[in-house]
Amino acid sequence: MKTFTALITGATSGIGKATAQLFAKNNIQLIICGRRKNRLIELEKELSQYTKVTTLQFDVSNKQEVFSAIKSIPTEFKNIDILINNAGNAHGLNTIQDGSLDDWDAMLDINVKGLLYVSKAIIPTMIKNNNGFIVNIGSIAGKEVYPNGNVYCASKHAVNALNKAMRIDLNKYNIRVSGIHPGAVETEFSEVRFKGDVDKAKKVYEGYKPLKAEDIADIIHFVVTRPYHVNIEDLVVYPTAQASATILNKA
């Protein structure tokens, strides 16, 4: 049976890491990516007992780094079957009038342009192979806008649009494209949003049971293991306690 190769961005934490762990246990070869080298090395060590793993350290928002990293992929990993566009974060939670320009740049550069750069670097291989799977991790913030979410929501609305656009443009090359849009998942996401304020981050997940990174990994794995003729376009996933970005049933 063919061994699939997946490239996962943002594999050093949260959803990306849980996806790498699950893929490894299902014998999918891995190219794990992120900026934090020590975490990549640790994860490579952990997952090498299950599958072949290689690491790529780069910032998705730096186009030179993206293209030279993808070019440097060892030959045995070069035929990427599955791309998980997961790297991303929210930076800040402020009204539009109080938002920081640096935070806006970070969110648009990483969540939107980073996703585009990585996709642009990998799509030619998929076109050559007349086969491939791209999973874009959006958010409920890409489906609705909530107070103070402004630019993060805009970045995820862009991911939602790009997900649809990729599916249309890549359809004739047999490349499947799926968007997964989680609600609240307890990861390092809120620590990044609140710039390392761990107490503030913890409060986001208090009083209800949020999703775990593993819940989303499980769904990603389900999506990429459907029979070849099945393409799940779009999945919105909430914790049971959540009904929308702003409606949360806290105890």
Report the residue number whose CB is nearest to ligand 8X3. Answer: 139
Q: Which does 170 bind (CB under 5 to 8 A by kind): ligand NDP, ligand 8X3, none?
A: none
Stretch that binds ligand 8X3, among 32-40, 103-111, 136-144, 224-232 (CB under 6 A): 136-144
Beta strands in 25-78 (DSSP E): 29-34, 53-57
Which of the residues 50, 117, 152, 173 is marked catalytic? 152
Among 88, 132, 149, 239, binds ligand NDP (CB under 6 A): 88
30 is a site residue for ligand NDP (CB under 6 A): no
82 is a site residue for ligand 8X3 (CB under 6 A): no
Q: Which does 13 bind (CB under 5 to 8 A by kind): ligand 8X3, ligand NDP, none?
A: ligand NDP
Q: Which does 60 bind (CB under 5 to 8 A by kind): ligand 8X3, ligand NDP, none?
A: ligand NDP
11 is a site residue for ligand 8X3 (CB under 6 A): no
The label of the residue with tokens 């800040």 reads 92
185 is a site residue for ligand NDP (CB under 6 A): yes
In the annotation, is 228 catalytic?
no
Give catalytic residues, as residue numbers.
152
Q: Which residues bind ligand NDP (CB under 6 A)?
A: 9-16, 34-36, 39, 59-61, 86-89, 110, 114, 137, 139, 182, 184-185, 187-189, 192, 213
